[in-house]
Structure formats: C-alpha cells, structure tokens
Amino acid sequence: MTLKKFPGRAFAAAVPIAIVFALSLLPPAPARAASFDYRVQGPLTFSGIPPLSPTLSKRLERYAPWPGTRFLEWLPEGGMLVAERLGDRVRLESLTAALAAPRTLASLTLPLRWARSRGGSLAYVQRSDGHSQLYLDPGKGPARQLTQGDELHGAPRWSADGRSIAFYGAGPGGSQGAVYVENIEQGGLPRLVVGGLKGSWRLLDWSADGKRLLLADVTRPEHNLLYLAKVGDGALQRLDVPAAHIACARFAPLDSAVYLVSDQGGEFEQLYRLDLDTHVLNRISADVPWDVERFAVSADGRYTAYTVDDDGRSALTVIDDRLKLALPVPWLRHGVIGTMGFGPAHLLAITYESARRPPGVYVYDADHRVLKRWTRRPNGLAARPLAAARLIHYPTWDRTNGAWRMISAYVYLPPAPGPAPVLILLHAGVDSQFRPRWRPFVQFVVNELGFAVIAPNVRGSSGYGKTFRTLADGWQRDDAVRDVGSLLVWIGMQPGLDVHRTALMGRGYGGWLALNSLATFDGHLLGAIDVAGMADLTDYVTHAPAGRIEERIAQFGNAADPSVADFLRHISPLGEVARIRRPVLIVQGLQGAGSRANNSQQLAYLLRYHRDPVWLLTASDTGNEFSAPADRRALRITVAQFLQSLLSRRPRT
C-alpha cells in the first residue's frame, strides 16, 4: 500500500517527526517569555492565557443556565419520571399531568447518564473517578453504590417486577465483559449471569417475564450480532438477524418479538420486527432515504412510533396497526426528538428541543391525535433574539452520480449586518452528526460576539447513509479536510460572511479536523480551538481499548502497517506543527483516555516555537469530556475570550 498524495502536504511529510519531538526538549523561546502567562486555579492550569475578562464573563453568565426537561420513563404507579437540568445540577422529578407541579425525587450533580424509578427506589448512573457507576437510592436513607471500578457500558435495565437491575461491565481496558444482576431487595454482591464476553457488548433490554436479556456484540461496527441470554444459567442464543450495524433493539410487548433498527437492508437504518417463533423479519418503517433513530411500541402493540433523522432534524411517525394508517406528527419538525415512550391510554411522551427552544416534554395522544406540552420552565434567553439553525447544502470537491457531492451544514446568523466573522463548528465523534439542538453557547457566540456559526456534516458523518459514513475511512481520512476547504469556498461567495475572518472549533475528532484544516488552509483562517482532540492518530489507533480496536482500524487503518502508520503521522497535528502558524487554543482534561492528554500538551509546547500565541487550558480532575461543572465554566469563558482576541487581529487577505 502506498501513501495517498494530498496537495500542499509535501513539506510537512518531509519534516522528520523525530526533529519535531526533539524541539520539545528545548527551553522556551526567549522572545515569548515576557508575554507568557501561567497560573493555577484549583485543578485548572491556564498556560499562555491572559487573565480572563470579568466583563465578558458576566455577559457569558447570562447564557450559562441550560434549562431543559427530558422524559425518562412512565412510572408503574402513574405519571412519568423526568430530569430537569438547572445549572450544574439535575433534578429527578415525577410529573402526573400536563403543566402540573412536579414532585422532586432527587437532586444530583452532573453528569447524570441514566435514571429509572421503581416502587419508590431510584437507580441512576453517574460518572465517578473517571468511570460510570450505578447507584441505588431506596428513598429511605443515603444512596448505595452498586458497582465498583470498571466502567459501565450503556444503560442498565430494570426488571419488570422492579426487584432487580441488570448491567454490563467491562474489565480493564475493555478486554473482557460480563453481565450481572443485582437483586435490590436482597442486597449483597451482584450475581454473574454471562461472563467472558470478548470485545465490546451492550445490554439492550430485559424481557417482561424476567427470563431473558437482549444483548448485542458491537465489536465490529458494521457487523453487530444479537443474542438472547437466559437469566437463570447465562446460556446464549444468537438471533437469526443478518449481521449489520444495529442502532437499537428491544423486546416487543409480551416478548413475542424483537424490534430492531438496522441497516442490513441497504444504505439506511430501518425499523424491523423479528418474530421469535417464526424467525420472520419484517420491515416496519416506510421507505425513506433517512435513518430511523428510535422507536416505541404501545403496551398492547396497537401503535408503533418511530423518528427518522431527516437531514439532522427529527420527523415523527405513529403507525396505527389496527387501522393500518401512518399518522405523521408535523408539529415538531424543526428540531430534534430525544427520548420517547408509550404510557397509559396510548399516550406517547416525547422530549423535543431545537435551536431556539430548550428541551421540553410533550405528550401525543395517539387515539385523539392531539399533542400537548407537559413541561414549561422559564427560559432566561427568551427575551433575546435567538438565532435559527438554517439548513444549507454546499458543493464539495468530488462528484457522485455525475453531480457535485453536496454537504449539509447548519448556519446561525448574527443580527447585525455583515460581513460577519465565521466560526466553523466541527462535531465530535468520527461518525457523529451535528444536529439543531438547544446550544446556549452557540447563541452567545452569535448574539454577543457577532460570529456566524456554521456546523457542517462532512464526509464520515452519520445520518446520510452507509456509504457516506465510510467515505473518510482509512486512506481517505484527510478527504474530510477537503470538505472544510470547500466550505471556505462557499463562505467566500456569501456577501454576508467574511472568509478572511474565519476560525475553527472542534472537540475530539472535530479538534483533529480543526487543526488539520488550519494547517492546510492557514492563509484563510484566524485560528482554531481544539478541545480534547487527537494530536497523534497513530497513538490513538494503537492504544485503542480492546473493545474498540476493530472500530478504529476500520476508521483509520491498521497502524501496525508501517505505511499506514506513516500516513497517520503525516495527517496528525503533531506532524503538522511547522505548518500551523495561526493562534491556537488547546483544551485538555488530564484524566483523558490513553496518552491523549500528553499528546495535547506536547502539541501546545511545540506550537509555541512559531509566530503566533498558543493558549493551553488543562484540568487535572476531568477527562476528555471536560464534564466537571467548574471546568465547563472555565472552558466556556476561555473559548469566548480566545474568539474575542481573534477579532482584534488583522485578517489575512
């Protein structure tokens, strides 16, 4: 295999990586010593970052509260369980009627991963010491931690009778997993149900009769397998479903079938029903060129609801199986539908949010086809003109079916007349997708700093079919950078946007993409923000957890191959140091997985030997997600001040 050649990268490829690393051993450049700022505030270290502006901080604080309520589940005793986010905490509440006063069950610190309630007991998953741990609050005393050490993967499942919780746990490095059951009434140690699970697995559901668990082997991203596990003896039975990417699966009412969302039938993920007696697999969703996201089935099986990812926006359909009718629900078409589930009397609860509306809970009465809002909380930003997320499509550099390939993007425009500076926001996750959710910080950047924000879904993003999701795999990884270049061309053609005052920002994979784009299109850009990005792709692939090795090899190539390793170094920010000459802000939690934290810090030190400033913000108490509330506040104000500093620089023309 030979290296794929990319325009303008010969110089970076010719620089021996050993020389770049040797530079890190040299003392700081004397010319920068006078302006270099270094301070420690608790777990936070601000390196090269000037004192933060109190005025800017106060302006940002108006956007800091993130109000929103999410549906979690219908409660057996009546009403529903919801989670209301208020600042840095989340309240778990029971709600019995539309716009009724909720009853608070618990108030917890973020981040909260999962919560369910049975018979007055509350179970929830929180991050603790870098791992997701399961807790039980019996309602009569302090919460008890049910798991220790190893990280939980996916949400636990509560038995229908409310007496037990099943969960999946992985061993060190994700090398081996197991499924356990904890009897809430008896207490004691969890019971091992299935052990020795190699690779990466997920616990999907628990049957209503309590006898079987639904598991998925997701070790190979495009080759998932479904299994039934007997709770009594742990015996595994593979279901007769074609190996494919399986987004979600769940038992049907009365356990007669399994509903699943899979792309086994073609480009897009569709909803299927597998009869467990006849093994017949039938497709439920309509023939539309979009992925099914999630689904819910009423207790009597009459109604099936599902949402599709329609170019980033959610579209909900409810099927009346008795009347053989599809009932579209058109009122929620400009945002994203999150959790949903059927309750009593065919009531479908939905969490909905959009660019201008925080998450709220709505209930659709399928029998009467009426939609009502069940939660309403004061929105501190309601009096301000919030920017809409406008969907656009721009042509990129290659063709498909004889026409230019089109890339989707969401655009937020500031109220002031242009030409406006631009922030290109690149989503995290190799195969994730930017969607028009409630994002107060984006509204701050648009309304207070005056940036237009553009969030593209470059090749490799999910939601646009199996082929598009793999377009940037392996040797094609750098083609996503070329999609960013095509966006710069599109920006240059818009009279209301200033292509010469454009910056980039991304988290994780988006951070890698931001820095690589900065190196490639340096002359057009003001700078970049990298939050927990991958500075060394060779290291990122080589040190993958055991359960994700195959996934990362499929996405980036096998770094054990010298030519692949050379290519990955060639497109890594650490290999692009000599070509990144504009200001950069690097943010990194020091508890990050693998050696990503060391790589990010090393990248910052190396970049300081070039002409423009480098800001480095690290936190010793958090990982790549920067999840601690105080750390998130520091992150927001630092990003805001960095963007403001870019506007004071003279643009290149």
pLDDT for 43-101, tens place per residue? 999 999 999 999 999 999 888 766 789 999 999 889 999 999 887 789 999 999 999 99
Which of these ranges, 24-33, 199-208, 297-306, has the smallest mean pLDDT? Answer: 24-33
Other Cβ atoms less than 10 A from the Cβ of 154: the count is 18
Q: Which residues pair with 106 in a beta bridge?
A: 92
Decide: 68 and 75 in contact? Cβ < 8 Å.
no
Long-range Cβ contact pairs of 403-408 (< 8 A, separation 24 or more): 405/459, 407/456, 407/457, 407/458, 407/459, 407/483, 407/486, 407/487, 408/311, 408/312, 408/456, 408/457, 408/464
Measured distance CA(232)–CA(574) in Å, rounded: 52
Decide: 596 and 543 in contact? Cβ < 8 Å.
no
Measured distance CA(323)–CA(369) in Å, rounded: 14
Measured distance CA(488)–CA(477) in Å, rounded: 19
Q: What are 195-207's pLDDT values in tens digits?
A: 999 888 999 999 9
What is the pLDDT confidence band of residue 652, given thresholds at 50, 70 and 90?
low
Q: What pLDDT is recorded for position 32?
A: 42
Q: What are 363-402's pLDDT values in tens digits?
A: 999 999 999 999 986 666 655 689 999 999 999 999 998 9
The sign of the CA dihedral 315, 454, 635, 381 is: negative
- pLDDT above 70 (res 130): no
- pLDDT above 70 (res 423): yes
- pLDDT above 80 (res 173): no
Decide: 537 and 510 in contact? Cβ < 8 Å.
no
Measured distance CA(167)–CA(193) in Å, rounded: 10
Tokens 């329609």 belong to which residue?
310
DSSP one-letter code for 224:
B
User: β-pairing, 112-118 with 103-109?
Assistant: unpaired
Q: What pLDDT is recorded for position 189?
A: 81
Q: If you average pLDDT over residues 527-552, what whole number do you get?
A: 89
Q: Which is more confident, 136 or 383?
A: 136
Measured distance CA(514)–CA(32) in Å, rounded: 25
Q: What is the domain partition of the chain in residue ranges?
A: 10-61+382-647, 285-376
Task: Give the residue among 596, 519, 514, 515 at the shortest CA–CA distance from 552.
Answer: 596
Q: List, edge to edge, every strand of the sheet that includes 257-262.
A: 246-251, 257-262, 270-275, 281-283
What is the pLDDT confidence band of residue 414, given thresholds at 50, 70 and 90?
very high
Q: If you average pLDDT over residues 541-567, what whole number do you get?
A: 88
Average pLDDT, the chain: 87
Decide: 365 and 319 in contact? Cβ < 8 Å.
no
Q: What are 281-295's pLDDT values in tens digits?
A: 999 998 889 999 999
- pLDDT above 50 (res 236): yes
- pLDDT above 80 (res 154): no
Task: Give the residue among 492, 507, 503, 494 at the shortest CA–CA distance from 587.
Answer: 507
The sign of the CA dihedral 264, 266, 267, 270 is: negative
- pLDDT above 70 (res 123): yes
The sign of the CA dihedral 345, 351, 354, 357 is: positive
Tokens 């990319």 belong to which residue?
6
- Give the CA radius of gyration of the chain: 25
Q: What pLDDT is recorded for position 128?
A: 62
Q: What are 625-643's pLDDT values in tens digits?
A: 777 778 888 999 999 999 9
Q: Which fold has domain 10-61+382-647?
A: Rossmann fold (3.40.50)
Measured distance CA(645)–CA(624) in Å, rounded: 25
Q: What pLDDT is recorded for position 175?
A: 65
Q: What pLDDT is recorded for position 451?
A: 97
Q: What are 453-470's pLDDT values in tens digits?
A: 999 999 999 999 999 999
Q: If you average pLDDT over residues 503-530, what whole number do you get?
A: 94
Q: Which amino acid is at 78?
A: G
Q: Which amino acid is at 14?
A: A
Q: Which is more confident, 496 or 18?
A: 496
3-class SS at 435? Answer: coil
Measured distance CA(304)–CA(316) in Å, rounded: 11
User: β-pairing, 420-426 with 452-457?
Assistant: parallel
Q: Return the C-alpha torsion angle 603, 595, 568, 243, nearest 10.
A: -140
- pLDDT above 60 (res 566): yes
- pLDDT above 60 (res 4): no
What is the pLDDT confidence band of residue 176, given thresholds at 50, 70 and 90?
confident
Both structure tokens of 394: 């721009």
Q: If you average pLDDT over residues 208-217, what whole number do you get?
A: 96
Q: Which is more confident, 618 or 330?
A: 618
Q: Which amino acid is at 120?
A: G
Other Cβ atoms less than 10 A from the Cβ of 66: the count is 18
What is the pLDDT confidence band of residue 650, given thresholds at 50, 70 and 90?
low
Q: Kindly report the CA angle at 247 between 241 and 249, in degrees rounded to 5?
A: 60
- Please give the share of the chain, as a percent, with pLDDT higher than 70: 90
- pLDDT above 50 (res 527): yes
Does residue 221 have a cis peptide bond before it, meaning omega lies within 30 degrees of 0?
no
Measured distance CA(86)–CA(67) in Å, rounded: 6
User: β-pairing, 336-342 with 614-619?
Assistant: unpaired
pTM of the predicted protein model? 0.90
- pLDDT above 70 (res 416): yes
Measured distance CA(379)–CA(194) in Å, rounded: 46
The sign of the CA dihedral 324, 329, 335, 341 is: negative
Q: What are phi and psi of 318, to 5 degrees?
A: -115, 125
Measured distance CA(117)–CA(94) in Å, rounded: 10
Helix residue spans in 173-271 (DSSP H): none
Q: What is the DSSP string of 509-571?
A: HHHHHHHHHHHHSGGGEEEEEEES--S-HHHHHHT--GGGHHHHHHHH--TTSHHHHHHHHHT
Long-range Cβ contact pairs of 232-235 (< 8 A, separation 24 or more): 234/179, 234/192, 234/193, 234/194, 234/195
Q: Which amino acid is at 426?
A: L
Both structure tokens of 256: 């007669």
Helices and strands in the chain, H and E counts = 13, 38
Residues 6+ away with beta carbon under 8 Å from 163: 183, 184, 185
